Structure 1
Amino acid sequence: MRVFISAFFFIAIFSYAVAYDPLDPNGNITIKWDVMSWTADGYVAVVTMNNFQMYRHIMTPGWTLGWTWAKKDVIWSIVGAQTTEQGDCSKFKGNVPHCCKKDPTVVDLLPGVPYNQQFSNCCKGGVLSSWGQDPAASVSAFQVSVGLAGTSNKTVKLPRNFTLLGPGPGYTCGGAKIVPPTTFLTPDHRRKTQALMTWNVTCTYSQILARKNPSCCVSLSSFYNDTITSCPHCACGCQDKRNCVKPNSKILKSVGINTPKKSNAPLLQCTHHMCPIRVHWHVKVNYKDYWRVKVAITNFNYRLNYTLWTLAIQHPNLDNVTQVFSFDYKPLVPYGNINDTGMFYGLKFYNDLLMEAGPSGNVQSEILLQKDKNTFTLKNGWGFPRKVYFNGEECLMPPPDAYPYLPNSAHKNLLISFSKLISSLLFLFIVLQ
């Protein structure tokens, strides 16, 4: 009996943890289905996808939304998106539905489609910004006309088995739940209208479900120690080790080498960690009242540009960020009173695109932080981050006993005087290797 109870609690805790992000506890993607009007055999609905995740976005090739009809529903037409397959519509004569599949799959349209195919917040190629980075760009929507369905609140059957891919696995969607009808303002903002019926579906992300190995790792260095703490060996798994490419390989000159594959299979630069992304944190300077950190993100995947990338970092001194150079910064306060997490992302049209592996495959910034005299120290690895996330994926940190240590004989004034020169040379070496 005791074993059974223990197993039950383990399963319950594990099931909760896989879809729970401690740095973004309320993050999710909510799909809202608003029935706007009834038709002769069904209804017209607006489907809206809101990404409420603070630092996890959906990058190209974009989201894919699927579900299973509860009855024999068909999609007569769709605006602002399209299904990937029409299915068997042979029983229809004359007016043929857009999709007759029991389990349709819908994708967003690409930018630049004709105006009559567009809908508000559509046609972004399925790319959704994170809520923390750009709320206005974190919404996607389309309009769908459904037939052979119910024509009232009592006869409509909610779709089941919602799935969301974005652009890979990792999202788990709950069941559709009827909620109070959404209210809308008329264009002149003088009158409120409301949907005839509304249901919501909530989808949460789990890194464990997305992949068995991390997709990024962290390396560390400091001005007070010439030791470079590298990413752990095979940090992201070494399953691609046989197909990795050396930086000077002739294959990199082949035509189309940087074109992504349909399977999203990476083409990684040969490294000991075999990660697509490495984040390097360098403690650069120790001033009297401030200290400075340099951060670099390096892309080792020759087949992927990272659009709208985000970097979330947890460190106790992030509540005293004074200035961030070359990146945008936004504090994240997941629990309302603990300000130890920040989100960094690229400046628009400057470095918000992290290029594929090669000379341009890295972005860098410096962070100036004011010291909290009650907590600041360089001992015992305090100057290094507790957690690092790239694009919402937690990166593997080196073991704490491998962190660059502070020499016992280090003199305060000497550290301040020589830290800039040593830091610049050391950081340059790390980025270029």
Structure 2
Amino acid sequence: MIIFTASAYDPLDPNGNITLKWDIMSWTADGYVKEVIWSMVGAQATEQGDCSKFKGNVPHCCKKTPTVVDLLPGVPYNQQISNCCKGGVVGAWGQDPSSAVSQFQVSVGQAGTTNKTVKLPKNFTLLGPGPGYTCGPAKIVPSTVFLTTDKRRKTQALMTWNVTCTYSQFLARKHPSCCVSFSSFYNDTITPCPSCACGCENKRSCVKADSKILTKKGLNTPRKDNAPLLQCTHHMCPIRVHWHVKTNYKDYWRVKIAITNFNYRMNHTLWTLAVQHPNLNNVTQVFSFDYKSVAPYGSINDTGMFYGTKFYNDLLMEAGPSGNVQSEVLLQKDQKTFTLKQGWAFPRKVYFNGDECMLPHQIRTLFYQTLQEEA
């Protein structure tokens, strides 16, 4: 019997990854011939495969390369295990440690009866919500130690191995999946997202905001291939982040952040927004969102993660009237560095759900010129 655990970490963590841990809790009686999955708790194989050679008890899955999916919330208790059944949604560790772990139990037959005869599984693929993950080989690590509920006794797995999977935005897609627009109280001009910031492949199939198609039933149902149905925009991005410099006080300044979903077929559960700006070391108050300083590089505290408040706005709905979330941030000034010139008040980098968003061309040029002057 094996317990499988997956843990996720912050997208801006320099050592960030998803770790798949396998803990062998007990051996089955049958030896190693061809593995089968007798039963699973907290997850299921998508296909059973050919189990015709078995009489009596039929295995849960007989495929050599099974695809395993998480169960949906609310399944019967006899199908559950702790930290399971989240519908495949694994949040960021910094956002909520309890939602960053997914777990299921699998009983494997004909797969070895000792540490010497068991063979580690190969060719792991983490499908996630799409491509982009690369998984390394399984590696044997020190056995996991468990603490009993009364915390008076420790037990340990008979054997443990880890699989590390890393994510690459470049492997996932050839275009960004989000863009950023800027505005400020001291200028009437809105700096928009770049045209075709996320590619214009979906331009022909996009839907105008006032189209009658939007009244059809089943419009928001996702497709198996995750093909988007985007609202027609000049940037053609599923997600737009807008950063508005709202007010300039004597000792503080205020920013309004709005995240808008333009995809009619996808919502975002437990979304995250990571922002890099030099004044995030002096965040005084965040309204409507939760906030956590990331500080991925030790003493440099210029990166923070915004995310929705649980049961309030941690779900970003599909495109439409409810497809946006907003917040305001109050920051204390450092009089030595604060300025409204050269685009200083705008973020250097923005990430939505771990993917870097396209900044306006004008702002990127200003940042580059400023770096050259400082150098």
The bucket for the TM-score relative to the shorter chain is over 0.9
How far apart in 1 are the matches of 2:124 and 2:11?
25
Q: Deviations over 1:345-390 (max 9, x none)?
A: 1112221111211122111111110011121111111111000001
Quote the residue 1:23 is aligned against: 12
* Greater shift in the superposed pair: 343-352 or 316-325: 343-352
How far apart in 2 are the matches of 1:282 and 1:186?
51
How far apart in 2 are the matches of 1:287 and 1:98?
64
Output aligned runs, 1:74-153, within 5 Å: 74-153=36-115
8 A Cα contact 2:126 2:134, kept in partner: yes
Offset at residue 199 of structure 1 (A): 0.3
In the alignment, residue 156 of structure 2 is paired with which amino acid? Answer: Q
Offset at residue 116 of structure 1 (A): 1.3
Q: How many residues align structurally?
A: 359
Q: 2:370 aligned with 1:381, yes or no?
A: no
Output aligned runs, 1:160-171, within 5 Å: 160-171=122-133
CA 1:141–1:172 in 2, change beyond 3 Å: closer, same or farther? same
How far apart in 2 are the matches of 1:23 and 1:71?
43
CA 1:404–1:360 in 2, change beyond 3 Å: closer, same or farther? farther
How far apart in 1 are the matches of 2:77 and 2:331?
48
How far apart in 1 are the matches of 2:310 and 2:11?
28
TM-score normalized by the length of structure 2: 0.92
Q: 2:175 aligned with 1:213, yes or no?
A: yes
How far apart in 1 are the matches of 2:312 and 2:111?
49
How far apart in 2 are the matches of 1:402 and 1:111?
43
Q: Deviations over 1:186-243 (max 9, x none)?
A: 2221111111110000111111111111110000111122221110000000000001
Determine what percentage of the aligned residue pairs are the same residue: 82
Offset at residue 246 of structure 1 (A): 0.7
How far apart in 2 are the matches of 1:35 and 1:77?
14
Output aligned runs, 1:285-300, within 5 Å: 285-300=247-262
Q: In the alignment, which of 342, 353, 370 is matched to residue 332 of structure 2?
A: 370
By percentage of residues, which structure has more helix?
1
8 A Cα contact 2:10 2:92, kept in partner: no
Quote the residue 2:23 is aligned against: 34
How far apart in 2 are the matches of 1:402 and 1:115?
52
Offset at residue 259 of structure 1 (A): 1.6
SS at match of 1:208: helix
Ranges in structure 2 where 5+ consecutive residues have no aligned partner: 1-8, 368-375
Q: 2:270 aligned with 1:308, yes or no?
A: yes
8 A Cα contact 2:84 2:104, kept in partner: yes
How far apart in 1 are the matches of 2:201 and 2:254?
37
Q: In the alignment, which of 217, 220, 226 is matched to residue 188 of structure 2?
A: 226
How far apart in 2 are the matches of 1:296 and 1:146?
48
SS at match of 2:279: helix
Offset at residue 400 of structure 1 (A): 3.6
Ranges in structure 1 where 5+ consecutive residues have no aligned partner: 1-19, 43-69, 406-433
RMSD: 1.8
How far apart in 2 are the matches of 1:178 and 1:151?
16
Q: In the alignment, which of 239, 243, 247 is matched to residue 201 of structure 2?
A: 239
Output aligned runs, 1:346-365, within 5 Å: 346-365=308-327
8 A Cα contact 1:176 1:200, kept in partner: yes
